[in-house]
Structure formats: C-alpha cells, structure tokens
Structure 1
Amino acid sequence: MSSALPPASSGQPPVAASPLQPVTAGILTALVGFGSTFAVVLQGLAAVGASPAQAASGLMAVCLAMGVLGLGLSLALRMPISVAWSTPGAALMAATGAVQGGFAAATGAFILAGGLIALAGFWKPLGRMAAAIPPALASAMLAGVLLKLCLSPFTAVAVAPVPALAVIVTFLVVGRFFRLWAVPAAVAVAIGLTLAGPGSAGFDTAALALPKPVFVMPAFTLEAAVGLALPLFLVTMASQNIPGLAVLSAFGFRPAAGPLFRATGLGSMVIAPFGGVTVNLAAITAALAAGPDADPEPARRWIAGVTAGVAYLGLGLLALAAAAGFGASPPLLIQAAAGLALIGAFGASIAGALKEEADRPAALVTFLFTASGLSVAGIGPAFWGLVAGVAVMTLHGRLGRLTHP
C-alpha cells in the first residue's frame, strides 16, 4: 500500500524532485477533471431545462468556483485540496430530466443542495446522518442513476455504428496505454466527428468569445426539493465528499471535514443562480494532486492543489466553446463519450452495492427502482429507490445494525 510518507532511507541519496512536478500534477488534475466529465455536466444541465447560454454560464460558474475554492483551501491548509463538480449529481440531473418549474426550479434545488452540504459542515448531526446512509444503498442508487447514461455508447452503435465505434475504440486503445487520457481522447474524437458529420452546422467561431454569466431567478418547489435537491445532496455526500476525504486520508492528509463542507456548500449556493451545479471535494482526481506522483515530499503537494485551482480558472473561459461543441447536432456521440466517462463509476457502484450478501436484496431493489425512471408526484426515481431500499433493509433487520453499530 502506498504511503504519503517518504520512503525509509536505503543508504542512497533520495531522488531529487523537480520543482515543476507538483505544478505539472496540478495542471493534469484540472485537465483530466474537466475533460473527463464536462460533457456529463452539460448534458445534466440541458436535461433539467438549461438553454445553451445557461449551460455555458453554469459550466463557467462551476469552474470558477472549483478554481477559487481549490486554490484558497490548498493555500490556507497547506494541503492538496482538489475541488470538483458533482459528476454523480450531474448524472442524476440527466436521469431525472425536467422538473416542474423548469430551470428556475432546478437552480432552486441547487441552492437547497448546497445549503444542506453547508449545514452538514455547521451541524455535525446532519453530517453524521449523511455518513450513516448504508453504503450499499448509496452505491445502488448511484448505479441506478448511471445505468442509462452508461448504455449510451452502446445504443449509439445501433444508430451510428462507424462514429460510435470510433469513439469506443479510441477510449479502449488510449486507456490501454494512458488510462487517465482515455476519456478526454474519446471526448475529443466525439466532438470532432460531431462537428464534421452530416447535418452539423460546424463550429461557430463566436463560441471562442468569453462566456457571459446568465442569471436565473431561482424558484423553490416541493417537487424539485424532494426529487432533485435531496438526492443531489445525498449522492454528493456519499459519492464525492466522503470518498474525497478518504482519498486525502490515504495519502496522510486529514483536514477537518466541517470547514471543507461549509466552503463547498456555500460556494455551491453562490454559483447556483448562474446555473452552476454542486461543487464538492474531488474523489478520483484528488489522487493526482495528493499522491506521490505529485511530489515525493508530502509537504510540497499543496502546490499541486493551488495549480489545479488556477488551471480551473482558466478552463472556465472555455465554457462557451465546450457548450457550443456539445450543442452541435447530433448530440449522440457526445452522450456516448459522457457514458464512457461514467463506466468506471458505474462499475465501482455496482461492486459496492453487492459487496455484502446480506444487503443485496435491498441494494438490488434500490438499483432497479432508481434505474426504472419511476416518478411519483413529480419526485424522481432516485428518492424512491432510496426509500424502497431502506424499507427492505428495515424488513430484513439490517438498517438498525448498520446505523447503530
């Protein structure tokens, strides 16, 4: 198991690290984080009713928030704190679709979700409640949300076999040799084929202009609060914030959770009226900045967190171009690339959901309920899947044992 501590002396002088190593790691962290899943974010925003201009504004806002928070927290704590958008949250939005009240109600839900995350930082019992969600149910709910999106690359083969297979083959071949670049390469191929394909209007050079913030007056509805805000809070805490802390801990960094939850929750509330989705601790890309590849000396890895923050600020300026590429007709290949970006998360979620045999009945019910797309009283399937799973766990006498060990 790798350690954040320097290796014990073997009698030979340690290999000197390049002063640019943490800077390079920080840039790579931002490029992989942006390139791997920006298509998922744009797809999620479009699904809940955002126009192309609103989606570009949201992508810009969330990049700026990630940059400011990652830079500020890394500097303040002298730790490699990476902040990311909620990829599971964006996938949840894509699966939930339009909510009653349109995009205004969706932005209201973003504010509520951010408020709950901040409250988890201020009020410890709420944070403990979120952490006490049975891992099997949290994983099953996320897997149900991701299933339809992960099928996109393969359903695309039936509609457009040659370009879809080109995207899939790119993902597999690049992943064989350069795993971290597999999804960005697939996204690049998808965008190129989409813009060059028949029926495409091509790339509008106006998209190279700086994106403009688009303010949306939030609306607060019960349907959006229960069907979008609450599941968004739960998947963000269970799939991003808690694993993000675990990744940092694995490399020897143990920041207090409360300030991090407060910062990302309040940041999410600020950017929500501009279309920004929830921001949180990075989980997967956190290892790029916090691991030994960033710098053999743990005390210098905070530089990678700062550099990633600066890089995200720059990437926010590409939001309009990214939204223009995503909005080009047809969107099929971009959706396929987004699905490829989520396959790893889907596999990990399924494995986590089925890990404990005694929890499998509840996990499978949660997964199938969530994947079914069932919506009752305007409330989306993720909430009902969690409710059904809790009911099955209670029936089997498992819930009390898990939440009160």
Structure 2
Amino acid sequence: MKHLEKGVGLATAPRDFLRDLNVDNLSAGVVAGIFGLSAGVIHISAGTAAGLPQEFTLLWVISYLFINGLFGLFLPAYYRLPLPVANSIPGALLFAAIIPVVGLNEALGATLMAGAISLVIGLAGWMSLIMRLIPMPIVMGMVAGVLLKFGTNMVAPLGSALLPATIMILSFFFAARYLRRVPPLVITLVVGIAYMALSGADFSSVAFSFKMPEFIMPAFSLQAFLAYGLPLALILVGMETPAGVGLVKGMGYQEAPANAITTVGGIGTMISAFFNLHSTCIAAPMTGICSSPEAGTHDKRWVAAVIVGIIFVVAAPFYGFVFSLIEAMPSYFIAIIAGLALLRVISSAMHITFSGKHEVGAMFSFLIAVSGIQIFGIGASFWALVLGVGLSMLVEFRDFDFSEERAALRKRFPANHPG
C-alpha cells in the first residue's frame, strides 16, 4: 500500500461535493453520464454480432453501469480529481468475441486473472514507472487519435441531417459567445431535445424495465487466459491507465494517481468477474469531458466525475428503459453532444502531441490510433503507445531523460545501486 498515492479522503467528500457543485460541473457530468449510458449500445452491438443472448447483453450493461458507477463515486471523491470510472471498450469487444469460443464462466475467470495482474502492478508501484517511460507527447498522440473520431462524428451529420446538426452546433458557439453564465453544452442539450420534440420524434417504443446485476461463478482455463485474460491485462495497464492519466495531466492536473487508478481498476475488474462484467478502469473519453474547461473551475471539476457515478448507479437497474429511450433518439444527437464536449480536449491533445519532443513517435502514435488497426486481437490504442515509444527510442533517443527512472530504481533497490 505504500506505493499508492495519497488523496484528500472521503470524510468531508459529501460536504465538499455540495459546496463545489455548480452549473458547469453539473452540465459536464450530465453530458459525460449520457455519453457513458450510450456506450452500452456498443456492448449490445458486440454481443449481438457474437450471437450472444439479448438477456446476457442487457445484464452485461447493467453490471457495467452499476459496478463501475459505485467505483466512480469513490475514486474522484477521494482524490478530488475528475476521474470517472467505466470499462474498456476494446476489452468489451474481446470479451464478446471470446465467450462463444471458451464459454462465459471461463471468460470471467480470465477477467479475474487480468484484474489480479492490474492489482499487483498498481500495488507494487510499477505503474508510475511505466508512465514515466511513456513520454507525454506519445500518450497524447494516442489520446488525440482515439478522440479524433468523436470530432469527425460530430461534423458527419452535416451531410445527412444538415438542419438539426447546424442548429445544435451553432447553438453551442452562440451560447459560448453571448450567454456566458450558462454552459454551452446545456444550451445545446436543450436545443437538441426541443428540436426532436418539435420534429415529431417517435418515443412509442420506450418501455419500462427493472433488473439488477446477477452473481455468476467464474471458471478457469489456460486457453481463456492466453486468448483473452492476458491481452485484457495489457489493455488495462498499457492503454486505459495511460490514456486516462494523460488526459488528466493534459488538463493541468500534474499529480494524477497512476498507481491508485490501476489498483482500483484491478480490484473492480476482479469483482466484475463475479457479475458478468469484463473490466473496471478509468474512462478516457468521459475523463476528457469531466476535466475539460467546460466543467468549470479547475479545483471543482471532480464533481462532474462523481455525477457520472451517480447517473450510472441510478440508471443501471432501468437500463432497458434507458436503452429504448436512446434508440428513439436520432443517432446524430449523442454524436454532436459528445463531439462538442470533447472539442477543447482534442485541441489540447493535438497541441501537446505536436509541440515538443518525440515528434516522430508522437506522430506515429497518433496515426496508429486513428487507423484503428488490430494486431493479435489487441486494439490500436495499445499499439499506438508500444510502437510510438519504440520508434521514438530508435530515432529520437536523445529526447528521453531517464534520470528520474534511475533515481526511482536506486530508491526502490538500494542494494543494487550502491553509488
């Protein structure tokens, strides 16, 4: 436990939450929460494509929201940082694909082992060393590449839904210019909903339902671990934590707790394995929304992440209803809201990527992340970091400064470094 970063604590968190709550962090939290709820569509699509029963996919999403929502209440509150918790989307795609091959119980057993690996790495303090070995321009190149699609998805509706897309996007910038006291995202949400109501959106298919997560016992097999558990551990440690920490640091929070984030993710992933869920980790796109300037003053943005946790926990049992409501909305609605919320984050990530050292590594990290390639079943975000760092070491080795790493190793292993 000595390697875990110290936080503010939870004793005064409820009082501080009410003190720091304002319209800016509330609106950012609501937008991030809506974005997280809509991500359940990805799980359902992946489950359908893999031929998994609809009952399974619904329970999967309910567990995703409920368990990660609980962790998302405590992590940002303890550190007073915008650290929303969700699950790994690349991990979700792997999870859905491996279940027909090895079985659900064996896949969950591999999830349990992946969580244990993350837990050990976080508790041992290795994550902070790993983060120092991955230069910030390369991390932000990966982040910019991942988030770029949210920007392109925001403008894509201009080709198919010109009028509503134009109205929503312009409302954001008009609000930013002329309505300084009202967050632009709130105005855009209201304008978008009003347009749908006036244009006669069909909500007749919206249906009420209530269901809680269900316990299931994992089983273990070497095949499941090698095909899914080990890649999942690599994704959690090598992609999800660096992406989330990179975003938080890019928004000016220099003391992001990389070891604690990895530890909490490991514990959450191990618990998830007993409830039909594949992972718990920091949520990169939602971190971008909650840590952005749209979330208000720097020291109060943590409230937005807690609001995400509240939305997840409350919405989880009713996700069947939430899903039918999201399905009734035009697809452009979420795409435009998410793109506008991440606009300044994408800009900041691009600036950090291309304005310093490691230019070649950062560029390739960005391009690989944008490409969406998969190698050995592992997604582009992971390979963007691995290949970006590797290429930078090959052609830009002088840009690396390993003095901090050598000092950290001397401190940790004094017997091996007497000098």
| 1:154 CA displacement | 1.2
User: Is 2:36 aligned against 1:38?
Assistant: yes
Correspondent of 1:101 among 95, 98, 102 = 98
Q: How far, CA to CA, are the matches of 1:342 and 1:40 in structure 2?
A: 16
**Residue 285 of structure 1 corresponds to which residue in structure 2?**
290
Q: How far, CA to CA, are the matches of 2:137 and 2:86 in structure 1?
A: 20
* Stretches of structure 1 lacking an aligned partner (at least 5 in a row): 1-18, 295-300
| 1:225 CA displacement | 5.2
Q: How far, CA to CA, are the matches of 1:47 and 1:156 in structure 2?
A: 21
**Partner of 1:285: helix, strand, or coil?**
helix
| Residue type at the aligned position of 2:266 | G
Q: How does 1:16-55 map to 2 (within 5 A)?
A: 22-23=17-18, 25-26=20-21, 29=25, 32-36=28-32, 37-38=35-36, 41-46=39-44, 48-49=46-47
Q: How far, CA to CA, are the matches of 1:291 and 1:226 in structure 2?
A: 37
CA RMSD in angstroms comes to 4.8
User: Is 2:70 aligned against 1:68?
Assistant: yes
Q: How does 1:193-232 map to 2 (within 5 A)?
A: 201-207=202-208, 209-213=209-213, 220=224, 222=226, 224=228, 230-232=234-236
| 1:354 CA displacement | 1.3
| 1:116 CA displacement | 4.5
Q: Contact (CA 8 Å) 1:149, 1:335: kept in 2 or not? A: yes
| 1:73 CA displacement | 6.0
Q: Which moved more, 1:394-403 or 1:378-387?
A: 394-403
**Residue 388 of structure 1 corresponds to which residue in structure 2?**
387
**What TM-score comes out, normalization by structure 1 length?**
0.68
User: Is 2:159 aligned against 1:154?
Assistant: no
Q: Deviations over 1:108-138 (max 9, x none)?
A: 8876664454233212224421443221221
**Partner of 2:210: helix, strand, or coil?**
coil
Q: Contact (CA 8 Å) 1:114, 1:233: kept in 2 or not? A: no
- Percentage of matched positions with identical amino acids: 20
**Residue 359 of structure 2 corresponds to which residue in structure 1?**
360
**Residue 238 of structure 1 corresponds to which residue in structure 2?**
242
Q: How far, CA to CA, are the matches of 1:191 and 1:114 in structure 2?
A: 40
Q: How far, CA to CA, are the matches of 1:196 and 1:277 in structure 2?
A: 40
Q: How far, CA to CA, are the matches of 2:109 and 2:139 in structure 1?
A: 24
| Residue type at the aligned position of 2:162 | P
| Residue type at the aligned position of 1:101 | I
- CA 1:167–1:390: 2 relative to 1, 3 Å: same
* Stretches of structure 2 lacking an aligned partner (at least 5 in a row): 1-13, 405-419
Q: Which moved more, 1:55-64 or 1:263-272?
A: 55-64
- CA 1:44–1:220: 2 relative to 1, 3 Å: farther
**Partner of 2:39: helix, strand, or coil?**
helix
Q: Deviations over 1:196-235 (max 9, x none)?
A: 767x65254423x434436788894656557665334334
Q: Contact (CA 8 Å) 1:143, 1:350: kept in 2 or not? A: yes
| Residue type at the aligned position of 1:23 | L
Q: Contact (CA 8 Å) 1:67, 1:308: kept in 2 or not? A: yes
Q: How does 1:137-176 map to 2 (within 5 A)?
A: 137-176=138-177
| 1:153 CA displacement | 1.6
**Partner of 2:377: helix, strand, or coil?**
coil
Q: Deviations over 1:51-84 (max 9, x none)?
A: 8766665554444445534555688x6x636651
Q: How does 1:344-355 map to 2 (within 5 A)?
A: 344-355=344-355
**Residue 12 of structure 1 corresponds to which residue in structure 2?**
none
Q: How does 1:234-383 map to 2 (within 5 A)?
A: 234-241=238-245, 244=248, 258=259, 261-271=262-272, 273-275=275-277, 278-280=280-282, 285=290, 313-316=313-316, 319-328=319-328, 330-356=330-356, 358-383=357-382
- CA 1:158–1:42: 2 relative to 1, 3 Å: same
| 1:266 CA displacement | 0.9
| Residue type at the aligned position of 1:355 | S
| 1:371 CA displacement | 1.1
